[in-house]
Amino acid sequence: MPALWIGHVTVHDEDAYGKYAALAGPAIAKHGGKFIARGGRYVQLEGTDRPRNVVAKFDSVEAAETCYNSQEYQAALDFARGAAERELLIVETTE
């Protein structure tokens, strides 16, 4: 089943987070991820408001998790640590 990688982010250091994004995009694509939402308009209804929201679609939960644990994505993540507050989850879709 396909899966969605959903991230909610508040960026504190734009330069460092920009380096993360420059590396994360290719790492996600390498593992079959395709962005379907990336920083667009949103409405916060409940929970912690994070002004940057990202959704990528993968072929499976396993593919998304493999991407997250990959050397390429972890190298990107080194720039995000300390540069942002984030929540990230993977959820299987029904389609």
Question: Hey, what CATH class is 3-92 in?
Answer: alpha beta
Q: What's residue 34's pLDDT?
A: 97
Q: In what order do the strands lie in the sheet with 3-11?
A: 34-38, 52-58, 3-11, 84-92
Residues in the chain: 95
Average pLDDT, the chain: 96
Q: What's residue 84's pLDDT?
A: 96
Q: What's residue 95's pLDDT?
A: 79
Percent with pLDDT over 70 in the chain: 100
Domain boundaries, the chain: 3-92
Q: What's residue 39's pLDDT?
A: 85
Enter the pTM of the model.
Answer: 0.91
Helix boundaries (H) for 6-93: 14-30, 61-69, 71-80
Q: What's residue 87's pLDDT?
A: 96
**Residues in the chain with pLDDT < 50?**
none
